[in-house]
DNA sequence: TGTTTAAATGAAAGTTATTTTTGTTTATAC
DNA sequence: GTATAAACAAAAATAACTTTCATTTAAACA
């Protein structure tokens, strides 16, 4: 994520271009993986000198609202965030070992909305689809390998 | 959910058949909608005389682990639970207005695993798919209607 | 280039869903 | 019946966020 790209995204969202927002985006963009709010905070604090954790939460919420950042679901009741400037409708493949995220273009859910409408008259407005697994690199490291989240 | 069905499920899971577990299942089975742990607690306390909230959490976790109960994702960082004894692979359509849940059999994700394997060598182990919308009944109530969660 | 003003931020305190701990009770195998 | 491992209650603790309010700053405009 180039700084100019970050500026453009913020201008498009009618958000002020501030060093904190740019730095949150730069930090997330540097990873191909998802991070928690606190992890983002720890990485950008040294760069910015000082930033409050609530500010990080606010920025991530704004970006998630605007769908520049995707929320990742895990069962530890912590929210994780992944910068994904791809605005086409798509989904994500999440590595359970190293947290890497890959885009998945295929989305065969169009038929589902029709089925629901036909069967009970319901209306589909959105869906959550997250594909979990082990990425190619972690697979190749084999059973002996240990990912970022391994015990 | 008949009591005998609950007993069978617990025996299958090698869990002791206790009044609390049966009551949690009965309470959830009475609804076609999802509930939070605290909501379950408030409904079963009068019946059981007394039960601790941590016990409700433990029971729901066990049942979710065994996939007798499904976790429902919402953005309020509260976990919701839905009793779904249907053990076939399927997904859920969630009404944003009244919390009703319908099963959705269709799941076209088989192709996705192949795509990921081919492209980057990754291995898919699970996926989260939740379809959000407004159920037929709430749709028919029209704009003037107000669901359980409406302001 | 100043000035203005709404938006952004820091710091501290607050909230709340969920978990842990420890001592007691109970379902079940024998 | 009795032994024993599992279940449970109660209270306290944890941790991820959120709110509040006083201060600062980006950006529109004079």
Tell me what pLDDT residue A142 has: 72
Tell me what pLDDT residue B1 has: 73
Tell me what pLDDT residue A150 has: 38
**Cβ <8 Å between A112 and B135:** no
Any chain B CB within 8 A of the CB of A142?
Answer: no
**Cβ <8 Å between A132 and B136:** no
Tell me what pLDDT residue B90 has: 95
What is the token pair recorded at B22? 């049966």
B42 touches strand C (CB under 7 A): no
**Cβ <8 Å between B122 and A104:** no
Report the protein residue whose CA lies nearest the C1' of nucleotide C28.
Answer: B16
Closest CA–CA distance from residue A125 to any residue of chain B (Å): 5
Q: Closest nucleotide to A61's CA, by C1' atom?
A: D17
At A63-116, the pLDDT tens digits run: 999 999 999 999 899 999 999 999 999 999 999 999 999 999 988 888 899 999
pLDDT at A28 over 80: yes
At A124-148, the pLDDT tens digits run: 999 999 999 999 999 998 755 444 5
DSSP state letters, B9-66: HHHHTT----HHHHHHHHHHHH-SB-EEHHHHHHHHHHHHS---HHHHHHHHHHHHHT
Range with the lowest mean pLDDT among A23-27, A59-63, B109-113? Answer: B109-113
Tell me what pLDDT residue B144 has: 52
- CA distances, A62 to each of A16, A77, A126, B73 (Å): 12, 20, 19, 20
**What are the φ and ψ backbone dihedral angles of A77, each rounded to 5 degrees?**
50, 30
Strand partners, B131: A127, B93
Any chain B CB within 8 A of the CB of A37?
Answer: no
Tell me what pLDDT residue B91 has: 96
**Cβ <8 Å between A108 and B104:** no
Instruction: Give me the domains of chain A, ranges plus CATH numbers.
Output: 1-86 (1.10.10.10), 88-151 (3.30.1490.190)
pLDDT means over runs of 10, chain B (151 residues): 90 97 97 96 95 98 96 93 94 96 89 93 95 96 55 30
**Contact criterion met (CB below 8 Å) for A118 and B104:** no
Instruction: List strand D contacts in A 53-92 (CB < 7 A).
Output: 53-54, 57-58, 61, 77-79
Q: Closest nucleotide to A50's CA, by C1' atom?
A: C10
């Amino acid at each position: 994520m180039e700084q100019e790209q970050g500026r453009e995204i913020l201008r498009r969202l009618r958000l002020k271009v501030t060093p904190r927002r740019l730095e949150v985006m730069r930090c997330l963009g540097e990873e191909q993986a998802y991070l928690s709010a606190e992890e983002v905070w720890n990485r950008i604090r040294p760069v910015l000198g000082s930033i409050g954790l609530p500010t990080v939460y606010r920025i991530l919420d704004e970006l998630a609202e605007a769908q520049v950042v995707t929320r990742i679901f895990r069962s530890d009741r912590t929210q994780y965030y992944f910068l994904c400037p791809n605005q086409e409708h798509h989904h994500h493949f999440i590595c359970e070992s190293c947290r890497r995220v890959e885009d998945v273009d295929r989305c065969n859910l169009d038929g589902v909305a029709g089925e629901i409408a036909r069967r009970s008259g319901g209306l589909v407005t959105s869906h959550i689809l997250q594909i979990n697994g082990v990425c190619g690199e972690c697979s190749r490291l084999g059973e002996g390998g240990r990912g970022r989240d391994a015990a």
